[in-house]
Amino acid sequence: MHDAQMDYYGTRLATCSSDRSVKIFDVRNGGQILIADLRGHEGPVWQVAWAHPMYGNILASCSYDRKVIIWREENGTWEKSHEHAGHDSSVNSVCWAPHDYGLILACGSSDGAISLLTYTGEGQWEVKKINNAHTIGCNAVSWAPAVVPGSLIDHPSGQKPNYIKRFASGGCDNLIKLWKEEEDGQWKEEQKLEAHSDWVRDVAWAPSIGLPTSTIASCSQDGRVFIWTCDDASSNTWSPKLLHKFNDVVWHVSWSITANILAVSGGDNKVTLWKESVDGQWVCISDVNKGQGSVSASVTEGQQNEQ
Partner 1 sequence: MEELDGEPTVTLIPGVNSKKNQMYFDWGPGEMLVCETSFNKKEKSEMVPSCPFIYIIRKDVDVYSQILRKLFNESHGIFLGLQRIDEELTGKSRKSQLVRVSKNYRSVIRACMEEMHQVAIAAKDPANGRQFSSQVSILSAMELIWNLCEILFIEVAPAGPLLLHLLDWVRLHVCEVDSLSADVLGSENPSKHDSFWNLVTILVLQGRLDEARQMLSKEADASPASAGICRIMGDLMRTMPILSPGNTQTLTELELKWQHWHEECERYLQDSTFATSPHLESLLKIMLGDEAALLEQKELLSNWYHFLVTRLLYSNPTVKPIDLHYYAQSSLDLFLGGESSPEPLDNILLAAFEFDIHQVIKECSIALSNWWFVAHLTDLLDHCKLLQSHNLYFGSNMREFLLLEYASGLFAHPSLWQLGVDYFDYCPELGRVSLELHIERIPLNTEQKALKVLRICEQRQMTEQVRSICKILAMKAVRNNRLGSALSWSIRAKDAAFATLVSDRFLRDYCERGCFSDLDLIDNLGPAMMLSDRLTFLGKYREFHRMYGEKRFADAASLLLSLMTSRIAPRSFWMTLLTDALPLLEQKQTYELMRCLEDLTSRRPVHGESDTEQLQDDDIETTKVEMLRLSLARNLARAIIREGSLEGS
Interacting residues with partner 1 between 94 and 133 (CB under 8 A): 99
Of positions 39, 56, 126, 186, contacts partner 1 by CB under 8 A = 56
Interacting residues with partner 1 between 263 and 302 (CB under 8 A): 263, 265-267, 269-273, 276-299, 301-302
Nearer to partner 1, 57 or 191 (CB): 57
Write the DSSP symbol of residue 296: P
136 contributes a contact to partner 1 by CB under 8 A: no
How many of the other CB atoms lie within 10 Å of CB of 10?
9
Q: How far is the CB of 284 from partner 1 (least distance, A)?
A: 5
Q: How far is the CB of 188 from partner 1 (least distance, A)?
A: 28
CA–CA distance from 113 to each of 54, 134, 140 (Å)? Answer: 29, 7, 11
Of positions 26, 35, 44, 147, contacts partner 1 by CB under 8 A = 44
Of positions 42, 74, 189, 194, contacts partner 1 by CB under 8 A = 74
Stretch that binds partner 1, among 18-26, 111-119, 163-171, 178-186 (CB under 8 A): 18-26
CA distance linking residue 36 with residue 28, whole number of Å: 15
Nearer to partner 1, 30 or 150 (CB): 30
Stretch 145-184: interaction string toward partner 1, x if CB under 8 A: -------x-x--xx--------------------------
Q: Which of 130, 11, 125 is nearest to 68 (CA)?
A: 125
CA–CA distance from 196 to each of 141, 222, 256, 266 (Å)? Answer: 16, 7, 24, 16
Of positions 163, 207, 231, 240, contacts partner 1 by CB under 8 A = 207
Q: How far is the CB of 252 from partner 1 (least distance, A)?
A: 6
Nearer to partner 1, 185 or 291 (CB): 291
Of positions 221, 223, 227, 230, contacts partner 1 by CB under 8 A = 221
215 contributes a contact to partner 1 by CB under 8 A: no
Q: How far is the CB of 75 from partner 1 (least distance, A)?
A: 7
Nearer to partner 1, 57 or 118 (CB): 57
127 Cβ contact partners less than 8 Å away, ≥ 6 residues apart: 84, 86, 115, 116, 117, 118
What angle (nearest 5°) sits at the alpha carbon of residue 139, between those of residues 58 and 54? Answer: 20
Of positions 33, 53, 120, 149, contacts partner 1 by CB under 8 A = 53
CA distance linking residue 72 with residue 60, whole number of Å: 9
199 contributes a contact to partner 1 by CB under 8 A: yes
CA–CA distance from 294 to each of 273, 285, 298, 299, 305 (Å)? Answer: 21, 21, 12, 11, 20
DSSP codes, 131-149: TTSSSS-EEEEEEPPP--S
70-76, long-range: CB < 8 A, 24+ apart = 70/105, 70/117, 70/125, 71/22, 71/38, 71/40
Nearer to partner 1, 184 or 303 (CB): 303
